[in-house]
Amino acid sequence: MNPTIELLKSHRSIRKFKDQQIPRELFEELIRAGQSAATSSHVQAYTVIHVVNPESRARLAELAGGQPYVESASDFLVFCADMKRSTEAAERSGADVTRGMTEQLLVASVDVALMAQNVVIAAESAGLGICYIGGIRNNPQEVSELLKLPEHVYPVFGLCLGYPDQNPEVKPRLPLASILKQDVYDDSSDEALVAEFDDTMARYYRERTGGNKSTNWSEQLKPLFTSKLRAHMKEFLNKRGFGLK
Amino acid sequence: MNPTIELLKSHRSIRKFKDQQIPRELFEELIRAGQSAATSSHVQAYTVIHVVNPESRARLAELAGGQPYVESASDFLVFCADMKRSTEAAERSGADVTRGMTEQLLVASVDVALMAQNVVIAAESAGLGICYIGGIRNNPQEVSELLKLPEHVYPVFGLCLGYPDQNPEVKPRLPLASILKQDVYDDSSDEALVAEFDDTMARYYRERTGGNKSTNWSEQLKPLFTSKLRAHMKEFLNKRGFGLK
């Protein structure tokens, strides 16, 4: 196993950060590393908003469902899927552009995720810790207004960055055999593999809490699916010009 | 700049591979590195299909729009967004699950992209080359049937993996200032920055083709947006149980 693979396998989210700034040069290097990720048809369908204003940070921490590290991390980024820049460039070159296609939502959402993951790996390679903040999709309209996002741009997730002031364990993952299949999707062993993973996670929670937390993977997922998950997203995307056509 | 950031910044797609197998141990290590990526609420909403069968590979090369490297790469993976495993696990634990939410499409598409990008970085750190294949969304229904994907699973992109038998240049990216903004989305300089990038890309194409290719970024994007981009995707996702609710 080489050092890069070791780095990848040592990832865990960091939610407590030292009061130490990331040098601007390093910060820009992380974003450039992000830009080097593969991009669909070279479209680079993303914009990163670096949120520096303290009031905006406090407001985003609230909007993300009360996540204080959004405010306390050294740096906070909002990764946006952006179909504005590229479609306008094509238009200026004479293209008759159709916007709002579902496929454009996918292209931009995948593009920004690949880019962000490169930023994350670069950050972790430089000794920084990170935490993705999907919670900005709790209130995506308010987030968009705060950041003055125009049409055809939507906030996909946030990212806290900073020097770690905690050292949590790496969280277990599903057995390889459950997520890797050969030639066809054969899930005949999946129930057994999930049961095995439930045991792993039960042990993990027990050990971390001195026996106080009795739960497992399947149990932890229940609240996520029992209510309608962020039921506002369809209408929100429509409003942002990602019309799901 | 540390070696990991250097690696990230040296990415370019590889479409010509040596006739050399990836050892199984390394291959599994890449997938495990992928699994270590951050995942929304620990849901791990992905499945990777490792396509080994030569007939399937040939068919996928066709379905992706005639991309021969899908067949000739040492290994080919199809990365699927998977909301089946996790929702069924929650159901077995007693959750009353609502499926088909737009948000679930986003969670799963982002989860699988973060995971894939880790696989890519791990592969490149081990001297392999890669090429993402978004072209499998040209014929997603046929791809799903070939791989026997069940409902609530959809193929997001493919990935060619292998030992590089070519050494293409790194492709330029948009100026940092156009994709990185502070506090708010201010695009007052975007048109000028895109014009600057059009010049960069025009020079890049000219130099690579001995002066024969006269185009730029904006021109190259025109065909992408002039027709309706993969207009089948909405109906396809609906059929797969990603109902855009």
All structural domains of chain A with their residue ranges: 3-169+228-239, 176-214
pLDDT digits (tens, 9 = 90+) for B15-34: 999 999 999 999 999 999 99
* B173–A46 CB contact, under 8 Å: no
Q: Report chain B residues whose CB lies below 8 A from the CB of A56.
A: 183
The Cα of A114 is separated from the nearest Cα of chain B by a number of Å equal to 6
Q: Report chain A residues whose CB lies below 8 A from the CB of B126.
A: 2, 5
CA distance B157 to B159: 7
State how far the alpha carbon of B209 is from the alpha carbons of A9, A18, B13, B174, in Å: 41, 50, 18, 21
CATH class of A3-169+228-239: alpha beta
* A106–B109 CB contact, under 8 Å: yes
A121 touches B7 (CB < 8 A): no
- Each of the 245 residues of chain B gets a pLDDT tens digit; together they read 899 999 999 999 999 999 999 999 999 999 999 999 999 999 999 999 999 999 999 999 999 999 999 999 999 999 999 999 999 999 999 999 999 999 999 999 999 999 999 999 999 999 999 999 999 999 999 999 999 999 999 999 999 999 999 999 999 999 999 999 999 999 999 999 999 999 999 999 999 888 888 999 999 999 999 888 899 999 999 999 997 78
Q: Chain B contact for A87, CB < 8 A?
A: yes
ipTM above 0.90, yes or no: yes
Q: Indicate the residue type of A8.
A: L
* A2–B233 CB contact, under 8 Å: no
- Give the distance, in angstroms, between the CA of residue A107 and the centroid of all CA atoms in the same chain: 15
Residue of B nearest to A30 (CA): B5
* A176–B86 CB contact, under 8 Å: no
Q: Chain A contact for B86, CB < 8 A?
A: yes
- Name the percent of chain A in helix, strand, coil, to the closest 5: 50, 15, 35
CATH architecture of the domain covering B3-169? 3-Layer(aba) Sandwich (3.40)
Q: Report chain A residues whose CB lies below 8 A from the CB of B47.
A: 179-181, 185
pLDDT digits (tens, 9 = 90+) for A28-64: 999 999 999 999 999 999 999 999 999 999 999 999 9
Q: Report chain A residues whose CB lies below 8 A from the CB of B89.
A: 194, 198, 217-218, 221
- Give the distance, in angstroms, between the CA of residue B65 and the centroid of all CA atoms in the same chain: 15
pLDDT digits (tens, 9 = 90+) for A57-72: 999 999 999 999 999 9
